[in-house]
Structure 1
Amino acid sequence: MSTPLTWLRSFEAAARLGSLTLAAQEVGLTQAAVSQQMKALETRLGVQLLQREPRGVSLTGAGAELYRAVAEGLERIDGSLARFVRRDARELRVLCNTSLAVRCLLPRLPAFCAAHPEVALQVRTALWRTDALGIDPDVELFLGPDRSGATGAIPIPGGEMTAVAAPAVAERLGRGAGGVRTLAVSGFDPLFEAWAKAGASPRGAAGEPLVSDSFHAALTLAEAGIGATIAPRLLAAASLATGALVELASPPRHQVLVYQCQLSSRPSDPAVAFRDWALGALAAPPPAP
């Protein structure tokens, strides 16, 4: 027997707000009805989800695990339904790869906002495109194999990989000194394995490689002098310009990845304006800090 969606919406609201009373107000039920739903849900699953406290409720371990899954699922459902709702023509939803957003897009974004004050802009970020199911963006900026001919996406220069390190770390590598970590990025194992096989990655590292979940994190660690990494040149450009990072020997050629900008199937005027602005802004030198 399937679990009623109304129970899950009530559970998500109670977990997020920490209160059955506030959850009841949000979902349009009485507090008693929400309380009965939570008891029924716990009975159905055979675990306690909420810890009742004098001033509200808190999640148990099982409740926290369920909340993450339910919140993500409801967000995807709401995002899918939103596609069929008539939207304000001024609204613009942008989905951007997290590293590209933090390193390149957000520092340049004030210029777009100043030029287009009439646009109601929403910016969402995701490490991987699969993390963004249900968001339905008007404009998407992502890193991946070049499929511009098939999808209509426009390539953004700077996706080629470069090896970088802080100047002091680069100097140590130049002297053949050991104790330098490889700063790897999860999901790009073949790239870093090829770097190691080519003999270009740091040797005699102090322990195992340090693995992070994004190129932004790896570059931040490299700037702090913790090790050396490989990243798209576009992401490293600002740090290379300021001298916070320097380039090492070129990494071996791997699968060609390209940053791309893609519009939805029915682009609005704000979406076209943003795409045209982003392509020019990201190709220009990074703004001064």
Structure 2
Amino acid sequence: MKQNLNLNWLRTFDAAARHLSFTAASHELGLTQTAVSQHIKALETKLGQKLFIRRAKSLQLTDIGQAYLVSVRDALEHIAFSTSGLFGPELDTTIILRASAAMIIWLSPKLSAFQEAHPNIGIKLVTSLWQNELEKHPVDVEILLAAQNQFDPHMVKLSDERIVPVCGTQTSTKIQRLADLTKLDAIHVLGFDDHWARYLSANGLPTDNISPRIVVDTSVAACEIAASENGCAIMFERFAQQAIATGRPIKIVGDPVANGQSHYVVQRNTTPNEKRASTAFCEWVATCF
């Protein structure tokens, strides 16, 4: 069994076999003709077999060389396909964007515009839930939610947010007036525990009888549970509108209420090349709101 075959030798063998010329192979690979010849000689020595018949003005594969070429080409193609599939085409840089799952879903149909404008910039999207998870992922750009009076020179405001009540299309027929919301099972989203109280209070409704029947950790999950006719959720208006636009069977059953929060975009520490890419993304994402 032959081990530790140099991958460069195999690539050189493939090129020389296609061209049947060490000179042409050297031009394709960016090597000297001497280097190509040395690669082939080293491979033949390792295998203990001649792969080419060398003549004064021609090159020909031996029978075993022809048979070996099939396997080599198959292996090289497999490596190329796997590399492309896992790592994608060659890019100038890839920026890592961290945002909530709902925000990533909201941005998804818009991302093609950025990709068309910046074809050499890749985007890796990671969701954010809790701080200990955030620390595991160094990022270049983050879209986060904070109070509207938040002041940080690194944070650029994208939009003030409003909240609305959402329930399934069938359940929505039970809502004749806002007070009917208090009769439905309340879906709470962890981290947004004040949404129900804030919404009811803004509409002059009592808040003391609202208890969480269902608790989830993302607005996306809350939306799906509401769509399944399992209660009512209070969520950001933009995310509710996105879900409705994509065909989710939900309905907004009340006027929006300001919740005192805004989405911001923040650039994290990056290399100069990544900073140019993340700046381009930040400038683009600001136009989406």
TM band (smaller chain): 0.5 to 0.7
Report Cα offsets for 1:104-139 as digits up to 9, x if no partner.
Answer: 122322332333221132221112455311422111
Give the structure-1-normalised TM-score.
0.56
Q: 1:108 and 1:252 mapped to 2: Cα distance?
A: 26
Pick one of 199, 218, 225 that aligns with 1:221: 225
Superposed displacement of residue 194, structure 1: 4.1
Aligned partner of 1:280 in structure 2 is 287
Distance in 1 of aligned mates of 2:242 and 2:257: 23
Aligned ranges 1:62-211 → 2 under 5 Å: 90-101=93-104, 103-146=105-148, 149-157=151-159, 159-174=161-176, 176=180, 180-195=184-199, 198-199=204-205, 209-211=213-215
CA distance in 2, matches of 1:251, 1:200: 18
Identical counterparts, % of pairs: 18
* Residue 243 of structure 2, aligned match among 239, 246, 254: 239
Which amino acid in 2 is paired with 1:277? Answer: W
The answer (yes or no) to whether the contact 1:143–1:159 under 8 Å persists in 2 is no
CA contact (8 A) 1:263 1:271 kept: yes
TM-score by length of 2: 0.56
Distance in structure 2 (CA, Å) of the matches to 1:248 and 1:120: 39
3-state SS of the aligned residue for 1:110? helix
Q: Which runs of 5+ in 1 are unaligned?
A: 1-87, 284-289
TM-superposed deviation, 1:234: 1.7
Task: Pick which of 245-254 and 210-219 moved more.
Answer: 245-254
Structure 1 residues 183 and 121 mapped into 2: Cα distance closer, same or farther (>3 Å)?
A: same
Q: Size of the alignment, in residue pairs?
A: 190
Alignment partners' CA distance in 1, 2:183 and 2:250: 18
Letter in 1 for 2:254: A
In the TM superposition, residue 270 of structure 1 has moved relative to its aligned partner by 0.9
**Cα deviation digits, residues 138-197 of structure 1 (max 9, x gap):** 110112223663233122225221222233222212175986311111222233244456
Q: Is 1:264 aligned with 2:268?
A: yes
Say which one has the larger Rg: 2
Q: Is the 8 A contact 1:168 1:225 kept in 2?
A: yes
CA-based RMSD = 3.2
Decide whether aligned partners of structure 1 residues 243 and 218 sit closer, same or farther in structure 2, where only a CA change above 3 A counts: closer
- Structure 2 distance, partners of 1:279, 1:155, is 8
Residues of 1 paired with 2:181 and 2:100: CA distance? 35
Q: Go from structure 1 to structure 2 and tell me whether the alpha carbon gap of 1:135 and 1:99 turns closer, same or farther (over 3 Å shift).
A: same
